[in-house]
Structure 1
Amino acid sequence: MPHLFFRGVPAEKLQSVTSPLADELAALCECGTDNFTMACLHTTNVFGSQESVADFAFIEVGWFERGQQTRNRFAQAITNYVRQLGISEIEIVFHAYREDSYYINGEPVEE
């Protein structure tokens, strides 16, 4: 935790930046890099009767809220690393998990 889901970012490219990205994000969140999951989701954009190629990255971050300043720095770090992959338009959305609704191996994270 946090969980990052990447759309419009080829996995083979993303692999080249995941380690330094995780290091920077872990420092921002004050946690270990082993707390992060990063997944590339294959999507096909469609409009009408034609498939279209994604020309931007859409990244969803699921996490426990850490405040506006951390969220801004987190988003900027992701943007900087994804830009290194030659992607110029990057959109990021955060989904805040509620601690009382998050379970690991069937056990609540916080009681």
Structure 2
Amino acid sequence: MPQLLVRGISVEDTRRISGPLIRELAEICQCGTDNFMLECLNTVSLFEGEEVASFPFVEVAWFERGKEIRDRFAAAVTKHVQSLGVADMEVAFITYDEDKYYINGKPCK
């Protein structure tokens, strides 16, 4: 945890930025790189009956770490994705409550 779900960015491009991105995010969150999961989702976007390119979008599912960390995290994700030549992209956070999160059937908190 955190889990990053990536849409609209190729697997190869995501692979290229994954190492430096995860290392920077681990530093921001003050945790090990093994706490992160990066998933590249294969999606099909449609508009008026036609297939169109999916908009670059990264959804972050995590335990809240405060606005300062969230802002730095989003800025780092944006920087790495834009280094691929992507002009516009979005990052959104989904926050899990620790008392409602279970690992192997046991509450996290």
Match of 2:4 in 1: 4
Q: Does 1:85 align with 2:84?
A: yes
Match of 1:19 in 2: 19
- Give how far 1:16 is off: 1.0
With structure 1 as the length reference, what TM-score do the two structures score? 0.94
Match of 1:94 in 2: 93
Kindly report structure 1 stretches of 4+ aligned residues shifted beyond 4 Å. none
Runs of 5+ consecutive residues of structure 2 not aligned to the other structure: none
Q: Does 1:51 align with 2:54?
A: no
Secondary structure at 1:94 match in 2: strand
CA distance in 2 between partners of 1:57 and 1:49 (Å): 20
User: Percent identity, aligned pairs only?
Assistant: 48
Runs of 5+ consecutive residues of structure 1 not aligned to the other structure: none
Deviations 1:19-77 (A, max 9, x none): 111111011111100000000101111122111112x3111000000111111000000
CA distance in 2 between partners of 1:73 and 1:6 (Å): 18
Secondary structure at 2:80 match in 1: helix
CA distance in 1 between partners of 2:6 and 2:87 (Å): 14
CA distance in 2 between partners of 1:22 and 1:50 (Å): 35
- What is the root-mean-square deviation in Å for CA atoms of aligned residues? 0.8
